A and B are shown apart, each in its own frame.
Chain A
Amino acid sequence: ESFMATMVAGHPPVFRWVKMLDEAFVPAVQEELAGTGHSMNFTGLYGGAIAGVGEELEAVEAGLAEIGICQSLFDPAKLAVQNVTYYTPFVSDNPRIVSTVMDDLHESDPRMRQAYTDNGVVYLGAPLALDDYLLMTNFPVDSLDDLEGRKIGAPGAAINWLSGTGAVGVSGNLTTYYNEIKAGVFDGVLVFASAALPSKLHEVAPHVTRAGLGAQFAGAICVNDDWWEGLPQEVKDALEAGADAASEWYIDALESAVDTAMTTMADQGATIKDASQEMRTSWAEGMDNVAQTWAKDLDALGKPGSEMLDAYMDAMRDAGAEPLRNWDEE
């Protein structure tokens, strides 16, 4: 039998999580399908061609596309519990661990998959982990005191990480950081290295501080559930194998991009420093426990906020992470 699948992503193909579809996902699925008597014809519609960033889930739910990059970071109301990492900073700076733990939680815990089911899609895999968030500023940072009164741009929920630092958290997004720092609207931003280099942020914010804010989960490949139900088992298996291949490809590519980013930014004159243990501790201790606020808000909406917060923190500790603050135990 022959199948058609439209793949949707709001970002253009220069982004790693879009590139992984054509580079790893599709070839792996085709390889798995070879000899099964089934075939699948993929069309990728990316970069806002049919849906913008954060609209992919809706497009897959409506059936406009069969497969999509579902962005939990940009769709925080629909994929609420998936945003658990953004409410628990200082847990792990290792994207591979975050990726594995989140994937396992999705596989093993139906409460995690419920958010997808509620929205008419199925979680397929390939978590989009983002590397450790850095503080990049146009002034040197030695302690938290240096942040007093500075305007720091941060995306979505990450703005909460600035509470208690004395910095003025301003909601922003990657697309305009460069200009806003250059013009002085921001004095710095919270951003991850693999995105900072392509945006050349180190040109305008050359002081890079690694404070261990943490690697994050931003989304995954999802599939329209009616379409999924109608697929033969061999095809489902092939798609899952494809997602595993994409996941592997993605995390390898991410890690090498982080290495390149760090070396290149340093070569081009950026100062890269690890924050002192003292600064990290006082940052983490000084924050509001926004994880609890978030979890209780979700509980009130009938979503398993507190339960998934506990499950995630436990799984991370089991995986060897050493959280600077145990958000679930307060």
Chain B
Amino acid sequence: MPRPETHGPALLRWLDKLTLGANVCGSVMIFCLTFLIGLDVAGRNLLGAPISGVPELVSLSIVAIVFLQVPQAFRSGRLTRSEAVLSGIAHRAPRVAAALESLFDLLGAIVVGAIVYATWPIFLRAWQRSEFVGAIGDFTAPTWPVKIMILIGGTLLVLQLLARILRRHLEEAK
């Protein structure tokens, strides 16, 4: 797995810091979820007092966790791909392979950008109409924070995809 290099222009360093920050938030959420479920199980069995809304919180947070972590997963080379053909091309025609890689990164940025673009109105509606999950009287949680995290994670992923093109370019220039 390629280790992410840390040098580069200040802008790229800031992007990496933000990406890492989002990653840390996601990991903390996983830790909290584990204990939330543990407390719910304990409360239900030992005290006859389950914690309301655990299923709702779990279903909300998984989406947030995925989008907060996926930029870092991409940055550290975890997104699934098959490298066989590409490395074959790189062996014979490195420039073609580099161009192809840049095209792939650009395509990724476009489709993830489309997701961000389509999530924006979803976020606005959730915010303006105070959309929630759960049931009034028992437990409710607003859905807009998760939509924001999708927007943040999606935007970071787009930037990382574009940054990868820039990094490749800087590397070649050297």
Known: A78-B131, A171-B53, A171-B55. A151 touches B44 (CB 8 A): yes
Chain A nearest CB from B122 CB (Å) reads 8
Q: With the chains together, A288 CA to B136 CA distance in Å?
A: 13
Contacting pair A77 B44 (CB below 8 A): no
Contacting pair B48 A157 (CB below 8 A): no
A77-B129, A159-B135, A159-B138 given; 18 more Cβ-contact pairs under 8 Å: A76-B134, A77-B132, A87-B137, A156-B135, A157-B135, A160-B137, A160-B138, A168-B44, A168-B50, A169-B50, A170-B50, A171-B54, A171-B139, A288-B137, A293-B137, A297-B136, A298-B136, A301-B130
- For chain A, the count of residues having a C-beta within 8 Å of the partner chain is 23
Q: With the chains together, A301 CA to B132 CA distance in Å?
A: 12
Total inter-chain residue pairs, C-beta < 8 Å: 58
Binding site for A on B (CB under 8 A): 44, 48-50, 52-56, 129-139, 143
A149 within 8 A of B: yes
A118 within 8 A of B: yes
Chain A CB count within 10 A is highest, among B53, B54, B136, B138, for: B136
Name B135's contact: one of A78, A160, A168, A170 (CB within 8 Å).
A160
Chain A CB count within 10 A is highest, among B49, B50, B53, for: B50
Name B138's contact: one of A157, A168, A298, A301 (CB within 8 Å).
A157
Contacting pair A157 B136 (CB below 8 A): yes
A301 partner residues in chain B, CB cutoff 8 A: 130
Contacting pair A118 B129 (CB below 8 A): yes
Chain A CB count within 10 A is highest, among B44, B49, B129, B138, for: B138
Q: With the chains together, A294 CA to B140 CA distance in Å?
A: 12
Quick one: closest A residue to B126, CB to CB? Answer: A77
B132 partner residues in chain A, CB cutoff 8 A: 76-77
Contacting pair A77 B130 (CB below 8 A): yes
Q: With the chains together, A242 CA to B41 CA distance in Å?
A: 47
Known: A77-B130, A77-B131, A77-B133. A171 touches B138 (CB 8 A): yes
Quick one: closest A residue to B142, CB to CB? Answer: A77
Q: Which of A246-269 contact B (CB under 8 A)?
A: none
B134 partner residues in chain A, CB cutoff 8 A: 76
